[in-house]
Amino acid sequence: MLAVLVLHVLAAVLAPVLVRWWGRTAFLVLALVPATGFGWVLTRLPVVTGGGAVTETVPWVPALDLAIALRLDALALLFALLVTGVGALVLVYCSRYFEPDDDGAARFAGNLTAFAGSMLGLVLADDLLLLYVFWELTTVFSFLLIGGTGTKLAARRAASQALILTTAGGLAMLVGLIMIGETSGSYLLSEVVAAPGSGPFLVAGTMLVLAGAVTKSAMIPFHFWLPAAMEAPTPVSAYLHAAAMVKAGIYLVARFAPGFAEVPGWRPVVLGLGLATMLVGGYRALRQNDLKLLLAFGTVSQLGFLMVLVGAGTRELAAAGLAMTLAHALFKSTLFLTVGVIDHATGVRDLRLLSGLGRRLPVLAVIGGLAGASMAGLPPLLGFVGKEAAFTALWEGGLPDRTAAVLVLTGLVVGSALTAGYTARFLWGAFARKGGLPSTAPAELVHPPGRLFLAAPAVLALTGLVAGPASSLLEPLVAGYADRMPLLAPEAEKLALWHGIQPALGLSALTLLGGAALFAARRRVFRLQRRLAVGASADEGYWNTMQALDRLAVLVTGTTQRGSLPAYLGTILVVVLALPGSVLLFLAPWPGEWRAWDTPIQALVGAVVVIAALLALRIHQRLSAVLVVGVSGYGIAVLFALQGAPDLALTQFLVETLTLVVFVLVLRKLPKDITERHRPRERAVRGVIAVAVGLVMAAAGAVALGARTAEPVSLAYPDAAYDLGGGQNVVNVTLVDIRAWDTLGEISLLVVAATGIASLVFLRRRTGTVDRLDPVRLARQEKRSRRAPRRQWLAASAALAPERRSVVLEVVTRVLFHSIVVFSLFLLFSGHNQPGGGFAGGLVAGFALVLRYLAGGRYELGEAAPVDPGLLLGMGLLLAGGTGVTGLLLGAEVLETAILETALPVLGDVKLVTSLFFDVGVYLIVVGLVLDILRSLGAELDRQADEHDPIETTPGEVIAR
Amino acid sequence: MTPTVVLPVVIGALYAAGVYLLLDRSLTRVLLGFLVLGNATNLLLLSSGGPAGLAPIVGYAEPAEMSDPLPQALILTAIVITFGIASFVLAIIYRSWRLVRQEVVGVDEEDRRVARRSGSDADEIDPDDLAPEDRSAAHADTGVGDEDVVARLERDYAGIPSDDVDLPPTRRRRR
């Protein structure tokens, strides 16, 4: 079973490609997929009619107890035959329905095949949650198929309407399924139906599941999405909205009925809604002029009929229901396909504009006539057999309550009369010659249908014809399902064409007579319906609800989103104060004892940090503010060192310095002062929030520490670091081994940040070309500036204007550059055992580049690092990630360290830890980040200033503020 | 574990200063606030590791004397990431200055537009308000039939010449 589903998935993925290669012929190949499924299901027929079931279970999410549990029993087999059989024929039909050069066909093919697979999965699923997954998949593909290319507003609206309604029902159903699963103690459909349990929880769950079935099968008051969905191409209407998807609700009710029909509320809901839907659908169908809409409302009506039959929960009605389901799928998809052929051939679907088509397309008329006869319930077709069975069942039993049975029977007879009436209207409208129109209208056929185009409806119609007399062959299959329900009639009547003269035959004749009368008096009926028409409809109600929701959303958004970042942040912070803050105030265990400090120096440095940070609040000069924050940061570094964290102190010092450099690079472009934009009152509010947040965070830190009783997880780190990670510096081993996943995520973030910076400055490309020295230009420049020193200390400093050069800086850079780079490598390699590592090493190497840039300008930076920073970032990430993959390939965990120790001739004992490569990746990424910053915020800004680069806008481009 | 007095005080003061700066409209100050908040958070994390100890390096100190290495590892990457993000914000500041000669967090016009919006998308409005060709076919028979369209147009748009049936194509209810 699973193989068949997987085949559908593969076909759906390949379908667009196939259609692009072979055009519409590819549909024929795709039709083989459901056909295979059909064949497979047929081979299982003996097992299932013998009373058995085919099951298959593959674990999926064991933690959730979720398995791909598939089960093919009598009910599933019948629906699976429908889904695969009609699916294959519809795909065959598609191969002629689409024009050879139709753009949407590729997409359509994929969606339709995927839908066929989902629908098959839905009827095979034996797990409640799996059923739900397939259920929603059919909804999604239905949305895509109705919406088509999304260029038509009406199609878009119809698609979203169907999606919203069926998903809403589906979500209710999910809740209901979980409630039922929890009550009955099993999530296996077969077990749940066998022993549903009881209680109010079960009743509520059942109602919710019914909500799903009712929306999906377009019962009143959610019926309106189905006619609207007729915006979809005809094959979709024939398959989804006649044979398959709308039957999902019927299937669900049929599936649950054996165990749940006695649940309080089940029969009133199912029978009431079903009957009302049958009558309303039939009544509406009678006044449609569009052939496709007529069929759509007819489908609504028939779905109501089927819902009554399969939902009653008795043996005789269930058997009639299955026969009728089969009959309906056959005749309704035939009729839709017939309309598709008419539409294709004439370009018209309005029955007021068609005349004399029956003579011109006789084969089509015979096909449509057969299907119509089945729909109206004429012998010897399958529709007649199903309807007879239903009438007989209700005449003698069918429902526990006799009054209800009579009521339902009356409703069904009236509904069937309406059915016969609109069937006659359909056949007359499609094929007959009409007064008031020329004998042939429209005068010319655009596309006369070919043989292959007619093949699918012909096969379906003939099946309906043959299945009538042969309906006794269906009996074992139908009985396999229906025998699980109580029999109320005196004896079980087998499915057959002829049962002799009996009351049901009279009722059938009555419906046909009623239908004929409705058709004969069609003008009067039409006028009456027009007079009775009311302005309100469920569809209007739906759109009004949607609009109200929309307005509510705008209202809420408009009230809460005022567009001010400080206001948003303020709100967030106030919530922090209100929730965690009040918990802290009232519930937190305050520490019993306090220490003044770890060392007195800590207090001293702490005071410096705080004073510097507070100074930043009042300073208006940009650079000074940055500097005092820098001082505060250096103070933090000292605090780190005092706490016993040399790695942190080192990194903090380096980063603080680099931050200052980057600030200066940008601030040189900005005005000196920060403009004050806040009124005193705003400042006061900010102050209150700030102080309160400060108090809460201080208290939170203290309380958290005071409340700690568990042993830290890091107690085992030192031993693990040395034994498993092969390093003495526990912090570094933590970074590159114990918590390497975290680090991998963090360095990825650095790559993103670097890319973001570059793209903000370079805008149209990742980075500019590396600014290299141009000898010609250099010579020209040297000629101009004769006073410049001949002796060069740096490669490209000659390119700088003489007044911007500093010999001292050049000399110092020349002397220090290589030493700094070597030192950074030392930090990288020794980091595993001593303070250092990839982060610190990379920052130091970045410093070397900063020095070169400051001393020699942008050309010097190009000479110092003639590589694309993106290359460094990418290689770093590749190296770090590659280390993880290598570990995996060697059979260990991802990112697990291997220690290689060997004695080499000259070097002596060499110990190589594979996490070193990870650290090299980190190093490269940090260097890449610094280089990217220098290249964008340094060199590129210089270039823009040098070349008086205007803001890069093309004419007509508007910068929105 | 016993908390110190000094570290919570420093942390609280840094948070207060950071939040005050963060709530400013000037991007430079927002960025400074971000840096101060970053420092405050790093310190908070560090203080959660317990009392000061020796550097967590095997061989240099016994495991019992070491300061907690786990917060240190977390902080180390946080420092570098703060640097990356700060540079990114600086690039934004530069960009904003270059384009509009301002470096303030202005009012988000898009949010204001949403607040002012009163109508619905075409995908959601009432079918009666759509142009006839955009209505779903099923709508044709709800309420009034298509034969009545001309009469209805005459009623709804009295005074407009009858050959202008296409005018106006979509009608919205006055709200």
pLDDT in tens, A486-528: 888 777 778 777 777 788 888 889 999 999 999 888 888 888 8
Are residues B76 and A731, on separate chains, in Cβ contact within 8 Å?
Answer: yes
The larger pLDDT score, comparing residue A691 to residue A151, is at A691
The larger pLDDT score, comparing residue B175 to residue A416, is at A416
Q: Which DSSP state fits B4?
A: B
Predicted local confidence at residue A414, as pLDDT = 94
The DSSP code sequence of A217-259 is TT-TTSTTHHHHGGGS-HHHHHIIIIISTTHHHHHHHHHHHHH
Residue A467 pLDDT > 50: yes
Cβ-proximal residues to A487 (8 Å cutoff; 6+ apart), any chain: A314, A315, A316, A397
Predicted local confidence at residue A305, as pLDDT = 94
User: What pLDDT band is residue A587 in, cutting at 50, 70 and 90?
Assistant: confident
Which chain A residue has the Cα nearest residue B17?
A: A614
Which chain A residue has the Cα nearest residue B51?
A: A598
pLDDT in tens, A782-836: 665 555 555 577 777 777 777 777 888 888 988 899 999 999 999 998 888 888 8
Chain B residues near residue A546 by CB distance under 8 angstroms: 120, 124
CA distance A75 to A78: 5
Residue from B21, B77, B109, B173 to probe the interface with A (highest A Cβ count within 10 Å): B77
Are residues A594 and B93, on separate chains, in Cβ contact within 8 Å?
Answer: no
CA distance B3 to A581: 19
Predicted local confidence at residue B167, as pLDDT = 36
Enclosing H/E stretch for A453: helix A451-467
CA distance B65 to A298: 83
Please provide the size of chain B in residues.
175
Are residues B127 and A543, on separate chains, in Cβ contact within 8 Å?
Answer: yes
Predicted local confidence at residue A155, as pLDDT = 86
Are residues B12 and A591, on separate chains, in Cβ contact within 8 Å?
Answer: no
Predicted local confidence at residue B154, as pLDDT = 55
Are residues B69 and A731, on separate chains, in Cβ contact within 8 Å?
Answer: yes
Chain A residues near residue B47 by CB distance under 8 angstroms: 701, 705
Pick the CATH number of A565-584+598-703 from 3.40.50, 1.20.120, 1.10.287, 3.90.1720: 1.20.120
The percentage of chain A sitting over the pLDDT mark of 90, rounded to a whole number, equals 40
pLDDT in tens, A45-93: 888 888 888 898 988 888 877 888 999 999 999 999 999 999 999 999 9
Residue A481 pLDDT > 50: yes
**Most confident of the ranges A333-347, A430-444, A894-908:** A333-347
CA distance A721 to A731: 9
Residue from A731, A929, A949 to probe the interface with B (highest B Cβ count within 10 Å): A731
| Domains (range + CATH), chain B | 6-106 (1.10.287.3510), 127-156 (no CATH)
Regions of chain B short of the pLDDT cut 70: 117-129, 131-175
Predicted local confidence at residue A912, as pLDDT = 74
Chain A residues near residue B152 by CB distance under 8 angstroms: none
Residue numbers of B between 15 and 74 with CB closer than 8 Å to A: 15-26, 28-29, 32, 35-36, 39-40, 42-44, 46-60, 63, 66-70, 72-74
Q: Which of B2, B92, B139 sits opposite A591 (nearest CB)?
A: B2
CA distance A443 to A103: 29
Which chain A residue has the Cα nearest residue B9?
A: A698
- Evaluated on CA atoms A216, A220, A225, A231, the torsion sign reads positive
The DSSP code sequence of A598-629 is SSHHHHHHHHHHHHHHHHHHH--BHHHHHHHH
CA distance A333 to A242: 6
Are residues A731 and B73, on separate chains, in Cβ contact within 8 Å?
Answer: yes
Cβ-proximal residues to A473 (8 Å cutoff; 6+ apart), any chain: none
The answer to whether A446 and A346 have CB atoms below 8 angstroms apart is yes
- What φ, ψ does residue A674 adopt, rounded to 5°? -90, 130
Chain B residues near residue A838 by CB distance under 8 angstroms: none
Distance from CA of B174 to the nearest CA of A (A): 14
Chain A residues near residue B32 by CB distance under 8 angstroms: 616, 625-626, 629
Are residues A666 and B50, on separate chains, in Cβ contact within 8 Å?
Answer: no
Map tokens 């912070």 to a residue.
A573
Nearest to B72 by CA among B53, B97, B100, B98: B53
Are residues B90 and A937, on separate chains, in Cβ contact within 8 Å?
Answer: yes
CA distance B54 to A644: 5
Average pLDDT over residues A940-954: 70
Average pLDDT over residues A451-474: 88
The structure tokens listed for A152 are 């038509």
Residue A733 pLDDT > 70: yes
Predicted local confidence at residue B175, as pLDDT = 37
Average pLDDT over residues A151-180: 90
Q: Is the Cβ of B89 closer than 8 Å to some Cβ of chain A?
A: no
User: What pLDDT band is residue A282 in, cutting at 50, 70 and 90?
Assistant: very high
The larger pLDDT score, comparing residue A752 to residue A539, is at A752
User: What pLDDT band is residue A123 in, cutting at 50, 70 and 90?
Assistant: very high
User: What pLDDT band is residue A713 in, cutting at 50, 70 and 90?
Assistant: confident
Nearest to A387 by CA among A484, A502, A251, A511: A511
The structure tokens listed for A226 are 């189905």
Domain residue limits, chain A:
265-489+508-517, 565-584+598-703, 725-949
The answer to whether A703 and A695 have CB atoms below 8 angstroms apart is no
Among A1-15, A271-285, A633-647, A751-765, which is the least confidently predicted range?
A: A751-765
CA distance A696 to A698: 6
Cβ-proximal residues to A524 (8 Å cutoff; 6+ apart), any chain: none
The answer to whether B14 and B28 have CB atoms below 8 angstroms apart is no
The percentage of chain A sitting over the pLDDT mark of 70, rounded to a whole number, equals 94
Which chain B residue has the Cα nearest residue A290?
A: B137
Q: Which of B13, B58, B59 sits opposite A610 (nearest CB)?
A: B13
Are residues A730 and B9, on separate chains, in Cβ contact within 8 Å?
Answer: no
The answer to whether A659 and B83 have CB atoms below 8 angstroms apart is yes
Q: Which DSSP state fits B56?
A: -
Average pLDDT over residues A564-582: 89
Residue A298 pLDDT > 50: yes
Are residues B67 and A609, on separate chains, in Cβ contact within 8 Å?
Answer: no
Strand partners, A673: A621
Predicted local confidence at residue A850, as pLDDT = 93
Are residues A543 and B16, on separate chains, in Cβ contact within 8 Å?
Answer: no
The answer to whether A56 and A127 have CB atoms below 8 angstroms apart is no
Residue A960 pLDDT > 70: no
pLDDT in tens, A879-919: 988 887 877 777 666 667 777 777 777 767 777 777 888 89
Q: Which of A665, A674, A691 sits opposite B16 (nearest CB)?
A: A691
Distance from CA of B148 to the nearest CA of A (A): 11
Predicted local confidence at residue B164, as pLDDT = 34
Cβ-proximal residues to A961 (8 Å cutoff; 6+ apart), any chain: B99, B100, B106, B109
